[in-house]
A and B are shown apart, each in its own frame.
Chain A
Amino acid sequence: MSTATTPVGKAGEYLDDRTGGATLLKHNLRKVFPDHWSFMLGEIALYSFIILLLSGTFLTFFYKPSMVEVIYNGSYVPLNGVKMSEAYASTLDISFDIRGGLLMRQIHHWAALIFVAAISVHLFRIFFTGAFRKPREFNWLIGVGLLTLAILEGFSGYSLPDDLLSGTGLRIAEGIVLAIPVVGTYLSFFLFGGEFPGQDFIPRLYSVHILLIPGAILAAITAHLIMVVYHKHTQYPGPGRTENNVVGYPLLPVYMAKAGGFFFVVFGIIVLLSAVATINPVWLFGPYTPSQITAGSQPDWYIGFLDGMLRIFPAWETTAFGHTISWNILFPALILPGIMFTLLGLYPFIEAWVTGDKREHHLLDRPRNQATRTALGVMAITFYIILWIAGANDIIATAFDLSINAMIRASQIGVILLPPIAYVITKRICLGLQRRDRDRLLHGRETGLIRRLPSGEYIEVHAPISDEERVTLLQAGAKKDEVFALPESTDDNGVPAPGGLVQGVRARLSRWYFSETIPDPTPDELHEAAHHAQELAENQQAQLEAGKPS
């Protein structure tokens, strides 16, 4: 039964008759999204991925995933007559003989770099604000999976042009596969269709790069976003914001216009970047050959930490019973990243186990209020950054005229020494900020006005903070100091409960996690402080009055 009169209404009815979409959309079109700049980081990642799909599809029309040797005969004169793989030759064609081809290649590469960077910074935001807590632990896991996939996808794409730099990267990857005990040699032969480099790898990598991993990423992003919609977005504490509501703009129209507009902004900026900033000029590197290398070989930024670890790990190798284990490769390239990503993925579960917190959380933490978590995060980032710097140690050594050996030694020591120092410093800073928040709640803000009382005493005038600030501070702090009582380790008769040792460790970890937290002022304390402040003010006023010349 048609009731619509406008063309749009008629089209809507046509669609709804067949899909029943109106019921679904009426609930979701006015969905509320809170506004905060830090919520745009994940959006940047999402938009970069869309840009990658668009630009990548264009590139597949012209790129030839083949390692068959050809003689180049194209517009780029310096390489004319040079033997190279068809993959490299077609990359040169895209760069020089197809209008807009170079632009698309650069868009694709810049978007890839920004994709991984946005995921990483988005992850920091989620971590430091505690957005991974119940009920969002699975979404954290999906996110860690996406980060891993993004790095693999980036590396596989970086390797496709078959230029000297990316081929060297593949050579290193092959060396790493060879280091896997027992099966490494076989794996390498299966991956490369025989010996390195062979003729099979680039075509195989191509289907992985354009089908397998992007498909997995797309599926994971879909699940990630469905969960965001289902859970409703987290929000920062503030007046009117509680664990039981979400305050923000409706999807239609404001959020759609802002987020949609932001997609165009991200896209536009990446295109402008690709217009003016050269990225990965493969024509300068030449075709891959296993006998050549350029000094200062650097991978894309997200591989840097792996390369750094590979550089600074000691030269340990064991040979026993006719077999070799290369710890110098196995540990930095496989075991360590395995540990890093496993810990990253499990963190929400570890923290919940330590704190015993089983509540749902929708209000975000201010990082300072979770001093231990924040310090752990900064510790991990410090560790990562030192590895990352180590990955560029030759560039740094050349640029700053340092000894490469000293650089490596410094990284080796720094990677062990600096993370714990970062932990301690961060924790101190957080506790200091907690104290400041407490002071502001109890004594108000410092106005900077100094007054001299008739008694000769100098005082600084404090002014009460705004209600908005007070509610924000109290709400943000309300979650930080609840040390959860763990089950009694012994029963009434002093018999240790089963699992006592594990629970004991848990209790100790829990105490450590919450140690030194500055308690929020209790309502009584707030009341008393307000009362005291009022008295003080009256007292001072009286003194001033009394001291006035009559």
Chain B
Amino acid sequence: MSDSHEAAALVPAEHNGHPGTGSDLESIAPGLPAHRLRLTDTDARAAQRAERQVAILFGLSALATIGFVVAFFAFPESETTITIIPGLFEPSESNLFLGLTLGLAILFVGIGAIHWAKKLMVDEEVVDVRHPARSPDADRAEFETILAGGVQESGIADRSIIRRTLIGALALLPIPAVLLLRDLGPLPGKKLEETIISENIRIVIDGTQRPLRPEDIPVGGLVNAVPENLEEVEELEGTLNARAKATLMLIRLRPEEIISQQGDDWSVQGILCFSKVCTHVGCPLGLYEQRSHHMLCPCHQSTFDLADGAKVLFGPAARPLPQLPIKLDSEGYIVAQSDFTEPVGPSFWERG
């Protein structure tokens, strides 16, 4: 690049002969700064030193690789941890040594290569000329001629019936592609609206399957529960689908604490049963504040007042948690009166 060209880019044309700052044009556009020699360019001993440093770095990498092989056989146990900072930094022995050796083996190659480039390789900047991204006019014209010729030769422009049937045929082709995806899953039907709970199904503790009598739940307490038939259904289906809808929680309040509930006689001795699935996007609820009877969703912080019909007090959920009507069976265990009277979990189009 010539300097005058650069200057032209800086100063509008009408000022071209006009020295901008009182000095000559060369000082406005001084061109590339002069190449500065490095110590390694002028001092052979410095160059030798740099060469040694690069070689040492590559050598260290090789040593670290050997270290990796040793560590691979020396620490086969992944679950053995070593305590470096108690409670904070207790890495697995195998992971730590394999990682450190492999990491250093790789890192030293990189540092060595960069050091080599910076100290020893020719570091003179070079200039390349740019061309506009567009093709030259002649090429464009030729391309257009070829394209038009091809279109002409094919006859696609004139033979409209061929063109239209082709477009029609191609437009239909995605149909098989989409249709083939049909068997990805069954149609929803009413599946989202019902759970495996029905009348007289016992509500049992999740995990131990122990049925519950009212006296098993202290006032102020909360029990994570499931319907008794869940275990059987899970065994049969081999999925967690039933659990995703039927997970429950039982809480016990003093009867006078209950402000409202979603149905008359849906509780037993101050015990209320709710769906544990958040009505926002379906996380299981988890943070219960005993004194205020507030249930918080740990995912998005929707807060429900379990003493007041599980109404939403705060957060992005739009609907109360569905309440499950419960009663006692002949043996005094808590059972469902029926399935939920509305779909549990997040909203969906057909929910209404």
Q: Are B128 and A32 touching (Cβ within 8 A)?
A: yes
CB contact list, B28-45 vs A, under 8 A: 28-33
Type the 1/0 row for B7-44, where 1 means its CB is closer than 8 Å to any CB of A.
00111100100111111000111111100000000000
Q: Are B123 and A249 touching (Cβ within 8 A)?
A: yes
Q: Which among A135, A174, A265, A394 is the interface contact of B282 at CB below 8 angstroms?
A: A174
Nearest chain B residue, comparing its CB with the CB of A69? B238
A426 adjacent to chain B (CB < 8 Å): no
Q: Which among A76, A199, A242, A360 is the interface contact of B9 at CB below 8 angstroms?
A: A242
Given contacts A310-B316, A530-B22, contact A102 B94 (CB under 8 A): yes
Chain A residues contacting B312 (CB-CB under 8 Å) are: 315
Interface centre among B125, B181, B299, B319, by most chain A C-beta atoms within 10 angstroms, is B299
Chain A residues contacting B352 (CB-CB under 8 Å) are: 319, 322-324
Number of interface residues of B (CB under 8 A): 115
Chain B: minimal CB distance from A357 (Å): 15
A470 to B6, CA, bound (A): 13
Q: Which among B15, B114, B224, B241 is the interface contact of A261 at CB below 8 angstroms?
A: B114
Chain B: minimal CB distance from A90 (Å): 14
Interface centre among A35, A178, A230, by most chain B C-beta atoms within 10 angstroms, is A178
Chain A: minimal CB distance from B340 (Å): 15
Q: Which among A231, A272, A295, A530 is the interface contact of B99 at CB below 8 angstroms?
A: A272
A31 adjacent to chain B (CB < 8 Å): yes
A370 to B243, CA, bound (A): 56
CB contact list, B173-220 vs A, under 8 A: 181-182, 184-188, 191-192, 206
Q: Which among B9, B15, B92 is the interface contact of A523 at CB below 8 angstroms?
A: B15
Chain B residues contacting A310 (CB-CB under 8 Å) are: 280-281, 300, 316
Q: Top 7 nearest A-B pairs by Cβ distance? A: A275-B99, A268-B107, A264-B110, A175-B281, A261-B113, A240-B32, A271-B103
Chain B: minimal CB distance from A117 (Å): 19
Nearest chain B residue, comparing its CB with the CB of A181? B349
Chain A residues contacting B95 (CB-CB under 8 Å) are: 102-103, 106, 274-275
Chain A residues contacting B23 (CB-CB under 8 Å) are: 530
CB contact list, A247-304 vs B, under 8 A: 247-250, 253-254, 257-258, 260-276, 278, 288-297
B102 adjacent to chain A (CB < 8 Å): yes
Q: Are B299 and A168 touching (Cβ within 8 A)?
A: yes
Q: Are A195 and B241 touching (Cβ within 8 A)?
A: yes
Type the 1/0 row for A167-209, where 1 means its CB is closer than 8 Å to any CB of B.
0100110111011111111101111111111111000000000
Chain B: minimal CB distance from A27 (Å): 11
Given contacts A174-B282, A245-B1, contact A317 B239 (CB under 8 A): no
Q: Are A171 and B283 touching (Cβ within 8 A)?
A: yes
Interface centre among A77, A240, A263, by most chain B C-beta atoms within 10 angstroms, is A240
Q: Pick out which of these stretches binds chain B: A91-99, A375-383, A511-519.
A: A91-99
Q: Are A313 and B108 touching (Cβ within 8 A)?
A: no
Q: Pick out which of these stretches binds chain A: B72-80, B157-165, B259-267, B327-335.
A: B72-80
A316 adjacent to chain B (CB < 8 Å): yes
Chain B residues contacting A260 (CB-CB under 8 Å) are: 113
Q: Can you offer 17 A-B residue contacts whose CB atoms are under 8 A?
A: A32-B128, A99-B76, A100-B94, A103-B102, A174-B346, A190-B184, A258-B118, A268-B107, A270-B103, A288-B240, A297-B283, A311-B315, A315-B312, A328-B280, A478-B10, A523-B11, A534-B22
Q: Are B184 and A326 touching (Cβ within 8 A)?
A: no
Q: Which among B9, B184, B186, B298 is the interface contact of A294 at CB below 8 angstroms?
A: B298
Nearest chain A residue, comparing its CB with the CB of B276? A291
Type the 1/0 row for B113-128, where 1 means its CB is closer than 8 Å to any CB of A.
1101110011101111
Nearest chain B residue, comparing its CB with the CB of A278? B91
Q: Are A194 and B110 touching (Cβ within 8 A)?
A: no
